[in-house]
Amino acid sequence: MSPSKPSAHSDIRGAARLAVDATAGLIDLVEALHQRVASAPGATAADGRTRGITGLVYRSVRGVTQLVGGSVDALLGLIEPALRPGGPAPLPSPAREALAAALNGVLGDHLAARHNPLAIAMQWRVDGQALPLDAAALRARLPEARGTLILALHGLCMNDLQWRREGHDHAAALAVGLDGTAVYLHYNSGLAIADNGRLLAAQMAPLLAAWPVPVQRVVLLTHSLGGLVARSALHQGAAAGQTWVAQVDDLVFLGTPHGGAPLERAGHGLDVILDHTPYAAPLARVGRVRSAGITDLRHGHCLARAQPCPLPSPAHTRCWAIAAQLGAFEGPAKGRLLGAMLGDGLVPLASALGQHPDPARALAFLPGHSAVFADTSHMQLLSSPAVAAQLLQWLNAGTGSGTLATSRLTPPPPAPNPSPLP
């Protein structure tokens, strides 16, 4: 199915539907709190619902909310075609794209399950516009296409336009340096990582088959969550015997939480505390308003049923990892240890470098295929000139097997380089 183009009216329709869902959820929360506090015999039920007149009130409010919400959604659905101007839709504004991406990152699985118009459908884009996956149409759209493809996968709560930061775009810069073409994946980052991996695996072959010129090289450039989506797609594609997997020459990770993100684990800890606190347990529902994509980050899971994701296995795929820390490399040992733990502010060094106490989950990057940058945050990885230089140096060389070690040996503890460029 071709994803529909966003419009102001579909945004309003989606927001109205989401507001109804939120209102119904708030009613459930208030009633559950009421149920916890109530102590009169026969006034409460084990399912968190109240009984008697109180229960009737809550059921009535909930029913009216859904009725009104359904009516508003139906009305907007009827008037949307009449209000939409004719001709192609204009380029979506960066502000609208950023807001929709953030909303999808937090509630994307809910939006998709409810078929909300705000849910982002996965597609390849250039300059914010979807690419047709037809050879003739793609040739007309990209008349200067090159045989080297730099496929950029954004992170959580982000979109393809946000690869450009502070006037710099790693994918565009690599396209110039490698004489290639940059193509950007736009996807719902709130879906489970395994689901996005499956969708990406299904998107790869059509793109490569429709490419206007013979494909000579494919580079997957990933940031944060995008790296886990790429690993999931490679594994699922290889398991299904899909031929595109063998066409991926390089896989680049920028601040990817291979071992998980501690902020999500902290959020899970809050859930556990609230669940075991009298009267406050229903409030844990607020803490659980996090998408499947976020909760998968807790331990870096990128397969179904919370399984660890195996290493990308194609023998010719070169894998590279860049990590960052907020502080400097120099200073007291305590400060350096804290810098390693904090990492780039979101992802610790060990996680970004694929290190894990369980050897089965550790990524053994080859010597010279990883680098650590000081005084750099998670988002600054997207605009750092030093990171850009490192990427170009690595990918211009393009020599050696570059594969992840199949022995799954845990790398030694990180020893940050005094200079990001070896």
Query: What pLDDT, on the 0 to 100 scale, is given for residue 415?
Result: 37
d(CA 339, CA 373): 11
Cβ contacts of 120 within 8 Å, gap of 6 or more: 3, 100, 101, 104, 108, 159, 186, 187, 188
Query: What pLDDT, on the 0 to 100 scale, is given for residue 97?
Result: 81
Highest mean pLDDT among 183-192, 314-323, 359-368: 183-192
Asked whether the predicted pLDDT for residue 61 surpasses 70, the reply is no
Query: What pLDDT, on the 0 to 100 scale, is given for residue 289?
Result: 58
Strand partners of residue 323: 372
Query: Can you say whether residue 117 is alpha, beta or left, with left for phi > 0 and alpha for psi between -120 and 50 degrees?
Result: alpha
Query: What pLDDT, on the 0 to 100 scale, is given for residue 221?
Result: 98
Q: What is the 3-state secondary structure (H, E, C) of 294-359?
A: HHHCCCCCCCHHHCCCCCCCCCCCEEEEEEECCCCCCCCHHHHHHHHHHCCCCCCHHHHCCCCCCH
Query: What pLDDT, on the 0 to 100 scale, is given for residue 269?
Result: 46
Helix 52-83 vs helix 8-37: crossing angle, to nearest 10: 170
pTM given for the model: 0.74
Instruction: For residue 98, name the pLDDT band (cuts at 50, 70, 90).
Output: confident
As a whole number, mean pLDDT of residues 363-384 equals: 91
Cβ contacts of 412 within 8 Å, gap of 6 or more: none
Query: What pLDDT, on the 0 to 100 scale, is given for residue 217?
Result: 97
Instruction: For residue 376, name the pLDDT band (cuts at 50, 70, 90).
Output: very high
Instruction: For residue 227, name the pLDDT band (cuts at 50, 70, 90).
Output: very high
Which helix H or strand E contains 370, and what residues bound it? strand 370-373
Tokens encoding 281: 């347990």
Tokens encoding 190: 């709130």
Q: Compute φ and ψ for 321, nearest 5 degrees.
A: -135, 135
d(CA 223, CA 211): 24
Query: What pLDDT, on the 0 to 100 scale, is given for residue 1?
Result: 42
Asked whether the predicted pLDDT for residue 67 surpasses 90, the reply is no
Query: What pLDDT, on the 0 to 100 scale, is given for residue 210?
Result: 97
Query: What pLDDT, on the 0 to 100 scale, is given for residue 45?
Result: 54
Query: What pLDDT, on the 0 to 100 scale, is given for residue 87?
Result: 43
As a whole number, mean pLDDT of residues 86-95 equals: 56
Among 51-60, 89-98, 119-128, 300-309, the minimum mean pLDDT is found in 51-60
d(CA 171, CA 162): 11
Q: At which residue do the structure tokens 């140096």 appear?
A: 393
Q: Compute φ and ψ for 69, nearest 5 degrees.
A: -60, -45
Instruction: For residue 402, name the pLDDT band (cuts at 50, 70, 90).
Output: very low
pLDDT digits (tens, 9 = 90+) for 25-46: 544 544 454 455 454 444 445 5
Q: How many C-beta neighbours within 10 Å does residue 53 have? A: 8
Instruction: For residue 107, name the pLDDT band (cuts at 50, 70, 90).
Output: confident
Instruction: For residue 260, name the pLDDT band (cuts at 50, 70, 90).
Output: confident
Asked whether the predicted pLDDT for residue 282 surpasses 70, the reply is no
